[in-house]
């Protein structure tokens, strides 16, 4: 007996470093320790029979990981108002989770495990959680060949070639992670959709995924190609008013629901960036969306019709979605939701909100965010996105008077909706840590949490995530949280301060190229179209003297944005062409302020490096090294951005870079020669 002990300890000591080394981030925020027999003794997870498959998952999770008292999982059909939510209640000697739906019990179980993981005291707990949105959906831009458009975490999780025969264990792990933060729907494929996804052989693969996801309360949606009837259906065209086309969609939808009875619906990118759509047949977005909506209606399916539409016309790109969609207000079926990107251009580091929000009074609208960091340094830069998401959700549109925030316009408070929804483009791939950067996991987490409860603060979400993902030690949590909270503003500073936008390298969007130009290329894909630098100044004049995009905003925002003196400085160059010498509120010239902002961004990232290095002892070696090396890239990139933009804009401002800030270390001509060989798949 005694002889065993030292061996046991030796083995433990030997294994410990391996365990720490093998910390590859794959566990995400779900780091529950299984209970021991002793911990489980005397506590029960009680469920009334018969038990559905989702409730079974909830019970198994608690059976395996719950170290607290007995938990009673109760389904109460009188509690309709809870929707997919739940109540957690302390009852003398046990805890009760009450829900109206099976999913509610699952979410309640994850809530308990989260509280346990964060080390919270549950005595006397009494809370009710009801999700703010009905559909909380991730959009995967995954192609059928395994590539991911704008994906920076490896190839697609979906192994189309192996499905439906081989079911990767990661499918369930993925679904579980989503369920743990309340995500209840996913679009599997790229919005630039291949018609093949609707072929019978692919639908079998989709069904296999749906069967796994269903256990975690997740519904599957598909992006469709509007030309599918013609391309794979052998129909003469795809005109939404052609009865044959309509019949084809009806039959296709019937076929889908036969094997996937809880199928969610379709996401559609039509007449945008070269994708086919109803306008090809002189029909409207409403004609196209309603045709699909009619096919889906008998099954309670939804159409998420994207408003991300623009063409290379003389009209300011920022105005086009509004111009195309507002005249169609009221023309859409009630199972159509217009899916609108947070900003009117394209997921820039900072944009004002899209003015289409609230401008359609009789049409359901939802917001689309981008979690994947297409315009934020890919998975190399640490940028915590909750502040960006919150900034848009909390923006007051004034659509129905003061207080008409985008959150309230889309969550059913100010506009009635058959179902409300919120979407984000996923940052997930087959990398072992799922998201490429360990801190990019926080953005997936933050989206799920905000989709559930948009009044959570960025601070609360960061704190939860850090505690669950790393450690609950305050010496670690506080500085890391500060770093995360500052990181989005830092990225804006070193990339595009003061409202600058879209000055990225062509096509792949990594790194600066404010000088970028392609002979014969679309102007609305060129940086000069957006920054308009000349000897007079910098910025896009969207005021009444320019494109007048400001007029699309409700009063008083049209006036506030439209006047150089009242326009918030973080949107200055978004709405105005501003003289280099224009005096900012702090007394500096616009040129000097631009220089200081870029410099501040660089200094912020340097400070992140220091914060991280100082906390090494709190983190396992693998994740420490991963994050450390990415911060190095970010710091180098920040200097690259600063030098490229300041040296280039200086050729117009013809003024010195203020002597108080760090001097450029690059030559403009050298920076112009950088041509990264990054592929953008679509």
Active site residues: 273, 346, 374
Name the residue with the smallest CB distance to ligand BDP.
346
Burial tier of 502 (Cβ tally within 10 Å: 0-12, 13-18, 19+)? buried
- Residue of 59, 150, 333, 577 that binds ligand BDP (CB under 6 A): 150
Residue 99 or 338 having the CB closest to ligand BDP: 338
Q: Is 524 in the site for ligand BDP (CB under 6 A)?
A: no
Among residues 66, 308, 470, 598, which is the contact residue for ligand BDP, using CB under 6 A? 308
Is residue 347 near ligand BDP by the rule CB under 6 A?
yes
**C-alpha torsion angle, residues 634, 648, 523, 677 (rounded to 10):** -40
Per CB under 6 A, the list member of 191, 203, 212, 253 interacting with ligand BDP is 191
Binding of ligand BDP at residue 147 (CB under 6 A)?
Answer: no
In the complex with ligand BDP, the residue whose CB is nearer, 87 or 320, is: 320
Please answer whether residues 597 and 591 qualify as being in contact, where contact means their C-beta atoms are separated by less than 8 angstroms. Answer: no
Q: Choose between 492 and 661: whose C-beta lies nearer to ligand BDP.
A: 492
Size of the site for ligand BDP (CB under 6 A): 11
Determine, following the binding rule CB under 6 A, whether residue 649 of this chain makes contact with ligand BDP. no
The smaller minimum CB distance to ligand BDP, of residues 181 and 191, is found at 191
The Cα 270–Cα 238 span in angstroms is 12
Burial 660-674 (b: 16+ CB within 10 A, else e): ebeebeeeeeebeee
State in angstroms the smallest separation of the CB of 271 from ligand BDP. 11
Structure tokens belonging to residue 475: 């010496």
Nearer Cβ to ligand BDP (100/347): 347
User: Is 59 a binder of ligand BDP (CB under 6 A)?
Assistant: no
Is residue 570 a contact residue for ligand BDP (CB under 6 A)?
no
Cα distances from 196 to residues 234, 378, 607, 629, in angstroms, run 13, 29, 48, 40
Q: Tell which one of 147, 168, 192, 622 touches ligand BDP (CB under 6 A).
A: 192
Residue of 132, 134, 149, 464 interacting with ligand BDP (CB under 6 A): 149
Is 193 or 590 the residue whose CB approaches ligand BDP more closely? 193
Regarding 285 and contact with ligand BDP (CB under 6 A), the answer is no
Q: What are phi and psi of 534, to 5 degrees?
A: -155, -175
Cβ-contact 180, 218 below 8 angstroms: no
Rounded Cα distance between 557 and 223, Å, is 35
Q: Residue 621 contacts by C-beta under 8 Å, 6 or more apart in sequence?
A: 20, 21, 23
Give least dist CB 502 to ligand BDP, A. 10
| 614/680 with CB nearer ligand BDP | 680
Kindly tell me which residue out of 111, 269, 283, 597 binds ligand BDP, with binding defined by CB under 6 A.
269
445 contacts ligand BDP (rule: CB under 6 A)? no
**Could you say whether residue 239 binds ligand BDP (CB under 6 A)?**
no
Q: Is 473 helix (H, G, I), strand (E, B) or coil?
A: coil
**Closest-CA residue to 102 (of 29, 174, 163, 179):** 179
346 binds ligand BDP (CB under 6 A): yes
**What is the closest distance, in whole angstroms, from the C-beta atom of residue 383 to ligand BDP in the complex?**
16
Please state the φ and ψ torsions of residue 116, each to the nearest 5 degrees.
Answer: -65, -45
Smaller CB separation from ligand BDP, 273 or 563: 273
Please report how close the Cβ of residue 162 comes to ligand BDP at its closest, in angstroms.
26
Q: Helix (H, G, I), strand (E, B), or coil: what is residue 367?
A: strand
Name which of 267 and 573 has its Cβ closer to ligand BDP. 267
Helix H, strand E, coil C: the string for 317-347 is: HHHHHHHHHHHHCCCCCCCEEEEEECCCCCC
Task: Give the nearest distance from C-beta 581 to ligand BDP in angstroms.
Answer: 35
DSSP H helical ranges for 437-571: 441-452, 458-469, 474-495, 527-531, 557-562
Asked if 530 interacts with ligand BDP (CB under 6 A), we say no
For position 102 contacting ligand BDP by CB under 6 A, the verdict is no
637 forms part of the interface with ligand BDP (CB under 6 A): no
CB of 682 to ligand BDP, least distance (A): 6
End-to-end alpha carbon distance in the chain: 64
**Using CA atoms, how far apart are residues 385 and 417, in angstroms rounded to an integer?**
27
The residue (of 80 and 677) whose beta carbon lies closer to ligand BDP is 677
> Closest distance between ligand BDP and the C-beta of residue 151, in Å?
10
Q: Which helix (H) or strand (E) holds 71?
A: strand 71-75
Give the 3-state secondary structure of residue 459: helix
CB of 344 to ligand BDP, least distance (A): 13
- Residue 501 as a binder of ligand BDP (CB under 6 A): the answer is no
Smallest gap from Cβ 65 to ligand BDP, in A, equals 38
Task: Write the burial class of residue 385 (CB in 10 Å: 0-12 exposed, 13-18 middle, 19+ buried).
Answer: buried
Q: Are 282 and 271 in contact (CB under 8 A)?
A: no
**Torsion from C-alpha of 226, 229, 230, 234, nearest 10 degrees:** 170
* CB-count burial class (<10 Å; 0-12, 13-18, 19+) for 211: middle
Among 61, 132, 134, 374, binds ligand BDP (CB under 6 A): 374
Instruction: Quote the least distance from Cβ 322 to ligand BDP, whole Å.
Output: 17
Contacts of 581 (CB under 8 A, 6+ apart): 589, 590, 591
Binding site for ligand BDP (CB under 6 A): 149-150, 191-192, 269, 273, 308, 346-347, 374, 682
């Amino acid at each position: 007996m005694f002889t065993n002990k030292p061996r046991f300890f030796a083995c433990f000591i030997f294994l410990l470093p391996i365990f720490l080394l093998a910390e590859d981030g794959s566990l995400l925020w779900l780091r529950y320790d299984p209970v021991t027999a002793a911990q489980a003794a005397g506590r029960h997870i009680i469920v009334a029979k018969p038990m559905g498959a989702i409730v079974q998952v909830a019970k198994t999770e608690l059976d395996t990981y719950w170290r607290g008292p007995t938990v009673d999982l109760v389904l109460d059909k009188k509690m309709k108002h809870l929707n997919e939510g739940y109540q957690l209640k302390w009852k003398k000697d046990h805890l009760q989770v009450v829900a109206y739906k099976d999913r509610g019990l699952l979410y309640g179980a994850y809530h308990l495990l989260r509280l346990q993981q964060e080390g919270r005291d549950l005595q006397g707990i009494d809370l009710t959680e009801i999700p703010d949105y009905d559909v909380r959906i991730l959009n995967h831009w995954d192609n059928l060949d395994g590539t991911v458009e704008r994906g920076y975490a490896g190839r697609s999780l979906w192994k189309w070639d192996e499905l439906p025969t081989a079911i990767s264990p990661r499918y369930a792990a993925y679904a579980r992670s989503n369920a743990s933060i309340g995500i209840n729907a996913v679009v599997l494929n790229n919005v630039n959709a291949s018609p093949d996804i609707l072929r019978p052989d692919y639908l079998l693969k989709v069904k296999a995924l749906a069967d796994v996801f269903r256990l975690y309360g997740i519904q599957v949606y598909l992006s469709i190609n509007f030309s599918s009837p013609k391309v794979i259906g052998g129909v003469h065209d795809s005109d939404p008013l052609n009865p044959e086309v309509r019949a084809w969609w009806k039959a296709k939808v019937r076929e889908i629901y036969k094997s996937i009875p809880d199928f969610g619906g379709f996401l559609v990118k039509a007449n945008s960036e070269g994708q086919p759509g109803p306008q090809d047949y002189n029909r409207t977005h409403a004609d196209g969306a309603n045709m699909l909506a009619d096919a889906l209606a008998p099954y309670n399916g939804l159409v998420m019709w994207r408003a991300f539409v623009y063409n290379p016309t003389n009209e300011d790109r920022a105005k086009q979605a509004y111009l195309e969609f507002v005249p169609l207000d009221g023309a859409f079926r009630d199972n159509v939701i217009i899916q609108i990107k947070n900003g009117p251009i394209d997921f820039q580091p900072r944009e004002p909100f899209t003015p289409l929000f609230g401008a359609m009074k009789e049409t359901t609208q939802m917001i689309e965010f981008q979690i994947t960091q297409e315009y934020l340094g890919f998975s190399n830069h640490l940028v915590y996105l909750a502040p960006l998401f919150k900034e848009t959700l909390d923006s007051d549109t004034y659509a129905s008077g003061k207080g008409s925030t985008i959150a309230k316009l889309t969550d059913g408070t100010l506009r009635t909706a058959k179902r409300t929804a919120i979407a984000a483009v996923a940052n997930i791939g087959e990398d072992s840590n799922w998201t490429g950067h360990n801190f990019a996991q926080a953005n997936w987490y933050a989206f799920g949490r905000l989709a559930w409860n948009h009044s959570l603060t960025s601070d609360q979400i960061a704190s939860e995530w850090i505690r669950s993902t790393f450690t609950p030690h305050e010496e670690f949590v506080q500085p890391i949280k500060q770093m995360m909270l500052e990181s989005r503003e830092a990225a804006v500073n070193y990339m595009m301060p003061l409202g600058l936008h879209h000055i990225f390298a062509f096509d792949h969007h990594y790194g600066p190229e404010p000088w970028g130009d392609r002979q014969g290329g679309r102007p609305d894909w060129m940086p000069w179209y957006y920054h308009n630098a000349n000897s007079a100044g910098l910025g896009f004049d969207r005021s009444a003297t320019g494109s007048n995009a400001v007029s699309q905003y409700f009063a008083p925002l049209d006036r506030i944005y439209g006047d150089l003196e009242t326009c918030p400085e973080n949107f200055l160059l978004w709405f105005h062409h501003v003289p280099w010498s224009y005096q900012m509120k702090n007394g500096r010239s616009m040129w000097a302020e631009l220089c200081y902002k870029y410099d501040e961004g660089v200094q912020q990232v340097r400070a992140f490096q220091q914060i991280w290095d100082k906390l090494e002892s709190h983190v396992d070696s693998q994740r420490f090294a991963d994050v450390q090396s990415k911060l190095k890239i970010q710091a180098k990139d920040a200097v690259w951005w600063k030098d490229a933009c300041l040296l280039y804009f200086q050729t117009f401002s013809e003024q010195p870079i203020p002597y108080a800030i760090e001097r450029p270390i690059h030559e403009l001509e050298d920076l112009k020669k950088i041509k990264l060989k990054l592929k953008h798949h679509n």
